[in-house]
Amino acid sequence: MASVAEDDLRADFVRELSNHVVAFVANTVLLEDDGSIKAEGFAWSSGFLIRIHAQNFWVTAGHCIRDFERDCLNKPNVTAYGKGFMDCFGSNASFKEVLPCPYDAGDAIMVYRKNPHLDFALLPLSDLICSGLARNGIRVVTREMWLDRPERRYFEYKVIGFPKHGAEKMTQKPSWGLRPAAIGVHRISAADVPGCPHDDSWFIGRVRSGADEFKSVEGMSGGPVFAFYKDQNGGTRYDIIAVQSSWFQDSRVVFACPLGLFAEMLHRAVEESKGNQQ
C-alpha cells in the first residue's frame, strides 16, 4: 500500500510511479559467419521489484525471459553485453547509468505455461544490486500490496512499462532511449472478450479510448499493473496487482498475470520450508 498525491495522478504520476519500474537491458551484436558484425541492437524487458520474506526479486513476464535467453544468449551468432538494470525513470532517481547485472541462461525462475496459465519470471537479486537500486529510490513491492483486498474498491488501473514504439534509437547507447509510459485500462471480465484465453482470476482490461497514441503495448510485457483506490481519509493510494503478459491488438484488451497468484504461493512455500527445518 502506498500513497500518491492527486497531482501525480494527473501530470507527474508516471515519474512518481516509475519509482517502481526497472528495465533489464542488454546491447546485442549479430555476427556473420566470418565473425564480422552484421547488425547491432538492444533488448529490454519491463519489470519491477518484489520482496518475498527477506529476498528481493526482479519480476517480469516469463515469456520475456524465455525470448531473451532464446534470442540473445542461446544463439551462436548473437552476443549480448552491457547487461544490467535501468532504474533512472522515477522522481527519486539521481543516477542515469545502467546498473550492471550479469545474467546467464537459467539464472531466473521462469514459468510460462498455458494450463493453468502462468506467465512470470523472478530473478533473485544480490545485496549489492539491491543497494544500487535503492540509491536511485526504487521501491519494492511487499506482501501487503499483492494480498487480495475485497474491501478496496479500485477506481482506476494503469499499466506501466516501456513500449517498443516509444524507444528512440540512439547511435552509441540505444537502450538509453527507453521511456516509461502509462496506459489507462478499464477492467472487464473474460465474458466480455470473445476467445478470451484466461478466466477472471487474471487481470483483463480494455485500453481506454483516450489512449489512441498507444497503437501497441509491445515491449510493456513484465510491467506492473497499478490499481488505485481511496483510503478512509479520501486520499488516493495504490496497489500493484499484476504483471502485464499479452494483449489482443484489434480489441485493445490486455491480459496480466495476477501477482498474488504466484507471489503468495512462493511466500507460503518459503514459510513451509522454514517450518520443516525447525
Question: 175-201 pLDDT, tens per residue?
Answer: 457 888 889 999 999 999 998 888 889
3-state secondary structure of 129: helix
Range of the domain at 240: 2-277
What pLDDT band is residue 70 in, cutting at 50, 70 and 90? very high
Helix (H, G, I), strand (E, B) or coil at 42: strand
Highest mean pLDDT, choosing among 113-122, 165-174, 245-254: 245-254
- Quick check: 170 pLDDT over 50? no
Q: What is the mean pLDDT of residues 260-274?
A: 83
Query: At residue 172, does pLDDT exceed 50?
Result: no
pLDDT class of 155 with cuts at 50, 70, 90 = very high
Does residue 165 surpass a pLDDT of 90?
no
What pLDDT, in 10s, does the model give residues 20-38? 999 999 999 999 888 889 9
Bigger pLDDT: 88 vs 168: 88
pLDDT of 9 strictly over 50: no
Q: What is the pLDDT of residue 11?
A: 44
C-alpha cell recorded at residue 191: 465474458
Burial 239-254 (b: 16+ CB within 10 A, else e): bbbbbbbbbbeeebbb
Quote helix, strand, coil % in the chain, to nearest 5. Answer: 25, 35, 40
Query: What's the structural domain count of the chain?
Result: 1
pTM, two decimal places: 0.88
CA-to-CA distance for 201 and 86, rounded, in angstroms?
A: 31
Cell 482470476 locates to 201
Helix-then-strand count for the chain, H and E? 6, 15
Which residues share a beta bridge with 203?
A: 256
Q: What percent of the chain has pLDDT over 90?
A: 56
